Structure formats: C-alpha cells, structure tokens
Chain A
Amino acid sequence: AQSVTQLGSHVSVSEGALVLLRCNYSSSVPPYLFWYVQYPNQGLQLLLKYTTGATLVKGINGFEAEFKKSETSFHLTKPSAHMSDAAEYFCAVSEWTSGTYKYIFGTGTRLKVLA
C-alpha cells in the first residue's frame, strides 16, 4: 500500500518569503501525485498534479511542485507568500485498490502567513 508523509503539521512564513511544504511518498509503482488546498469553510481545491512527463509541475496561484523519484518527494513551493495563501495543504497519491482509484492523503500542513 502507498503512503504519504507531510513533514510539519504547521508552517509559518513571513509575507513575501519562500513557501516550502514537504511531501514524501512511498509507492512501489509510478505515483500519481496531487496537492490540494483547503481555505476556511471551503472544500479541498486542486492546486496541481503530477502524472507523467515534466517533473516540475506548475499549478494555480503561483504554486509549483517538483517530482523527485530518487528522493520520493513532491514538495510544494511558492517564491513569495501572500496573506491569502494561509490555508491547509494536503498532499495525496492516487492508488488503485479494491477495484477503484482513491486518494491516499498525508496528514496536512497548515500554513500561516505573517504580516
């Protein structure tokens, strides 16, 4: 079975600073990786996904993530944090078991942006 580890349940950055949210996966097959974001009182929203091809994936709101097979990582970055980036971020891998594809999520990282 696949698994996802997100290091740091809470991350604080200053406005304008680099955002780095860490995600490592465990998979015996090529992984399909996702980052979702949840803003307060809203549903999870897809930021970006990696399927095949280019290992640097660009998403919405200036976020990007790089798939590194050798490190089994898919870290999420943004060069300059905005106050509006404050939210909870979830890394996930898509897994086929019991006849269906389903997400395996990490425990989430709550990002706080300091003025």
Chain B
Amino acid sequence: EAGVTQFPSHSVIEKGQTVTLRCDPISGHDNLYWYRRVMGKEIKFLLHFVKESKQDESGMPNNRFLAERTGGTYSTLKVQPAELEDSGVYFCASSPLAGVYNEQFFGPGTRLTVL
C-alpha cells in the first residue's frame, strides 16, 4: 500500500511569488491534515479535511493560504503571495478515522524556502 506522498519535496521561490503544494493521501482515507514546521519549532496544525469539506481551518495563518481537496482525494495548499515567514516544512497526513487516539499517517513533507 502506497503511503502519503507530497510534491514537490523542495521548493525555493522569491517573496511575492505563488507556490502550490500537493498531497496525495493513502487511498480510502477520508481525513486529510496539513501541518507546518517552521525551523527549530514545533509542528503546528493548519487544517483538517473530511472528504472534500474543511472540518477545521483554525490553524491557517492568514488569507494568503488556500487549501482545497477536490473530489475528496488529493489536496493542494496554495500560498499567494509568499512571504519570508512562510518558509518551513509542510507536512500532510491522512487517516481513515478521526478519533482522539487514531493514528495519522504522515508524508515526508515539502520544504519551502522563500527568499
């Protein structure tokens, strides 16, 4: 069974440009999460999809970030326009269930560098 995949693995862009990150969850997993880790700090929750619906987007930093999950399969996270403080590693995770002790399966992350 394929794990969670993320594309690209690395992205380097200039401040003010747009970047789109993609996440393909494990097949059949209705729950999809985005997290972000700024260098040296903790991994922080951004948002949670259940199928194609946003269940919780309380962690999204501001309106420059837009997440979508068309058809309840893969998800994209767009940053427009990118700022220096958006640099970090963006992780995607998926799970079949969304209970308090249900494991989330993580992808390897996308390292975003904004210059």
Contact = CB atoms under 8 A, between A and B. Distances in A.
Interface residues of A, number: 30
Contacts of A98: 56, 58
A99 B56 contact: yes
B108 interface: yes
B103 to A, nearest CB: 5
Interface string B10-54: 000000000000000000000001010000111111001000000
A100 B100 CA distance: 9
Contacts of B55: 99-100
Contacts, number: 67
Q: Is the interface of B mostly helix, strand, loop or mixed?
A: loop
B79 interface: no
The SS class assigned to the A binding surface is: strand
B58 A97 contact: yes
Contact of A94 (B4, B93, B100, B107): B100
B22 to A, nearest CB: 15
B81 interface: no
B106 A43 contact: yes
B74 interface: no
A94 B56 contact: no
Nearest to A40: B108
A61 interface: no
Nearest to A52: B101
A92 B101 CA distance: 11
Interface of A: 4, 9, 32, 34, 36, 38, 41-46, 49, 51, 90, 92, 94, 96-108
10 contacts: A34-B103, A41-B108, A42-B108, A44-B93, A96-B100, A101-B100, A102-B56, A105-B35, A105-B44, A107-B40
